[in-house]
Structure 1
Amino acid sequence: MPADTTGESRTTGDGSAPGQGGAVTGGLVPVLLVAACLRTPLSGVSPLVPRIGAQLGLSAPALGLLTTLPLLAFATVSPLAGWVSGRWGMGRTFTVFLSTLAVGILLRSAPGVGSLYTGTVLIGASIAFGNVLVPALIKRDYSASMSWLTGVYSAVMTGLAGVASGIAVPLSDALGQRWRPALAAALPLVVVALAVWIGRSRRLGETPLTVTRDDGSRGGRAAWAHLLRSPDAWAVAVFMGLQSTTFYMLLAWLPTIERNLGVSDAGAGAHLLVFQAVGVLAGLVVSRWMQQTTDHRVPAAVTGIAMVIGVAGLLARPQLLGLWIVITGLSQGSAIVVALALPGLRSQGPRQTARLAGMAQSLGYLMAAAGPTVAGWLGQSDGWDAVLIVVGALACVQAVVALPAGRHAG
């Protein structure tokens, strides 16, 4: 994909040059608070799956939908994020999506199966906006440090998601084994992020925070058509899809796989915390690596190779479970940083970044959506080793797709 596939000028939403908006936007704290909300409401679910299923009488595929529905929402809503922010302004868009996220968390924790799934859909639709717009905002205001700052916000996102996984079961135990209040534990974080973002928007106004006004004009449609014809854009999208699929399959079912190996609920939750926590370090390392080079094929490919090693170890030597959890966590932590950074690195300006991120996340999460449900069915019918084999096969393809996705465009 050429360096600029849309022909847009390299200016920000307020007319300033990229990379010069940091002082205007008031620093990274509000952005990092938003990042903290992008996985935490989802990652505490899988350790509680046995309790949810036992209480509500849900099958494994039905429980897999608790992970699949947010991904379907990501796929559906992601292409709309740039258009909505262009009409409303970035500040208002973030305020609305954080408010909707809070409502979704409350609804998911309310009694009834319907509220559980409806709240899950609202959570996914809300998070989709942040998934697309945070990279676009970083591209606009901090383009010179795109890779490194992507690693920082990914570290916040992944680290707190790991904490949510690790405390889900102990918190549920402390609340009398009630899982609904434990699922609501992310709400205070979302409320804090919402309050900070409202204050920022009121202080700065809407104009400096607008990323794009992709209003369906002829030029906007032509840019989308050009993007959809780009093989390299499709490679970026498929890379996003493959790493997302393996991540959400493991996020949903790794605790169940471990319980089949004799690990307790609390132990499986702790391992899920390790799985995500080691990814924080890996993400920071790979972001620094990517910052120092213009050709990202090797760091992108390494993420898939590490996952192959990790799942092969789980299959061949499960007694070394801790080692393989660390290796798979390192793979996922670095892969998500690569996937989130590529749209900004392969585009010019926040408008094209939002388009490419929207395309990559829409296709990527559509691919990933089938993962948890298929894994649940496969695990019940053929055993959980079959799930690990599928994860390893997808990781092999990811390592191959990394070559065109990470190729230097200049």
Structure 2
Amino acid sequence: MTGGRAAPGRLVLGLALMLVAFNLRPALSTVGPLLGQIRETTGLSAAGAAALTTLPVICLGLACALVGWVIRRLGPDLGVLAGMVIVAAGLGLRGLGGLWPLFLGSALAAVGIGFANVLLPALVKRDFARSSGPMTGLYTMTLCLGAAAGAGAAVPVEHAVGGWPAALAVWALPALVAALAWAPYARRGGPARAPEAGRLLRDPLAWWVTAFMGLQSSLAYILFGWLPLLLQGRGLPALDAGLYASLVTLNQAPGALITATLAARARDQRRWVVGIPALTAAAFLVLAFGSETLRIPAACALGFGVGGCFGLALSLIVLRAADAASAAGLSAMAQGIGYFFASLGPLAFGLAHEATDGWGLAGLLFVGITAAAVVAGLPAGRARTVSAARRD
């Protein structure tokens, strides 16, 4: 990737970037609230539901492995546009109904999300180098708002349009809007040099950042896929469970913004690595197993914690990278490998629930993943940088 290029109309560019970010989670967060209806109408088993929540995360990781090719052939700016078009196509495919379009559309949308996921931190590093912390927080916050909109609106939209296929497909519209908004910027840069992956694969710091990204992502995808069903298991109607899930997701936005902005100002990020995951684990236990009167504050705290973990993970990618090319390489590594391992989280969570016909073992697994994220995040939070740029 090229570096040091000032983008014209930074405010408009930032708004277009936010529109892209808004569309990076509804494809994932809309499935959980509708999972009960999907299982009832299709006969999907609990294991099949676990596979449905796991498949997009695997595809996110696979897409990240292709980003180097995308950078070389298209350039980062056109790569983001291609990602948005693919997201819209995948979401539209899910509207055909049935299990095959659902699974294939989810996989396709995840590929598009993976492209944009990797490229956005590199573009922030390139175009907003002097304000990378606030910009990382802003686009992560917008991403969380998109996730919250998907989780909260899924059931009401399903009631309005008369079925889950149309309720899932309607999210193709904002993805198309984002593609149109980004189209003027897709012409800014042509194909560019891709980062050298081998340099990062030999760097321990890159692996610690990757581990933290994967472990904290696992927590988010567990909540996307299983929190509504867990709350329904506690006696909440589907609509109420979806609204609680939306409350969790909505509070990810301030968590991401505040954590990313403040953590970027610190000398290193190790205190944040301990505090934010600890808040996440405690809030999850209260929401899942605590008093009914504490559900609302626990949901807010859980959302703040999960959003903070995600904002912190993206901040570590930007802060630990020496330049824009290194940010692209570290982002591809952290999200590609990280999402592959993150996919095991919702799968293991679902299998633990099915094996015990309860949520105790699954809840213990969630806390264990949180503890592992702290262990990985401590060395990732130290004030060092990695370089992945090709040398002539």
TM over 0.5: yes
CA distance in 1, matches of 2:161, 2:4: 52
Aligned to 1:394: 369
* Local SS of the residue matching 2:251: helix
Aligned to 1:9: none
Deviation of residue 77 (structure 1)? Answer: 1.5
* Aligned pairs for 1:7-406 within 5 A: 13=2, 17=4, 20-21=6-7, 23=9, 27-176=13-162, 178-201=163-186, 205-207=187-189, 212-214=192-194, 223-314=196-287, 316-319=289-292, 320-382=294-356, 383-406=358-381
Segment drifting more, 162-171 vs 84-93: 84-93
Kept after mapping to 1: 8 A contact 2:264/2:319? no
1:19-38 deviation per Cα after TM superposition (whole angstroms, max 9, x unaligned)? x4364795211111111111
CA distance in 2, matches of 1:54, 1:72: 25
Q: Structure 2: where are the runs of 5+ without partners?
A: 386-392
Deviation of residue 224 (structure 1)? Answer: 2.3
1:166-194 deviation per Cα after TM superposition (whole angstroms, max 9, x unaligned)? 11111111223x11111012111111111
1:265-298 deviation per Cα after TM superposition (whole angstroms, max 9, x unaligned)? 0101100111011111111111221232231111
Deviation of residue 155 (structure 1)? Answer: 0.7
Kept after mapping to 1: 8 A contact 2:28/2:224? no
Q: 1:354 corresponds to which letter in structure 2?
A: A
CA distance in 1, matches of 2:207, 2:126: 23
Instruction: Give the superposed CA RMSD.
Output: 1.8
CA distance in 2, matches of 1:317, 1:97: 41
Deviation of residue 80 (structure 1)? Answer: 1.9
Kept after mapping to 2: 8 A contact 1:239/1:398? yes
Q: Structure 1: where are the runs of 5+ without partners?
A: 1-11, 215-219
TM-score (norm 1): 0.89
* Local SS of the residue matching 1:400: helix
TM-score (norm 2): 0.93
CA distance in 1, matches of 2:366, 2:10: 43
Deviation of residue 363 (structure 1)? Answer: 1.5
Closer/same/farther in 2, CA of residues 170 and 354 from structure 1, 3 Å limit: same
Deviation of residue 309 (structure 1)? Answer: 1.1
Q: How many residues align?
A: 383
Deviation of residue 315 (structure 1)? Answer: 5.4
Deviation of residue 83 (structure 1)? Answer: 3.0
Q: 1:233 corresponds to which letter in structure 2?
A: A
Q: 1:213 corresponds to which letter in structure 2?
A: R
Kept after mapping to 1: 8 A contact 2:7/2:13? no
State the 4+ residue runs in structure 1 displaced beyond 6 angstroms: none
1:311-357 deviation per Cα after TM superposition (whole angstroms, max 9, x unaligned)? 33245524222222222111101000011121111011111111111
Kept after mapping to 2: 8 A contact 1:283/1:337? yes
Closer/same/farther in 2, CA of residues 387 and 318 from structure 1, 3 Å limit: farther
Kept after mapping to 2: 8 A contact 1:51/1:179? yes
CA distance in 2, matches of 1:318, 1:396: 24
Q: 1:94 corresponds to which letter in structure 2?
A: V
1:202-228 deviation per Cα after TM superposition (whole angstroms, max 9, x unaligned)? xxx343x65x412xxxxx5xx422211
CA distance in 2, matches of 1:71, 1:315: 23
* Local SS of the residue matching 1:28: helix
CA distance in 2, matches of 1:112, 1:398: 37
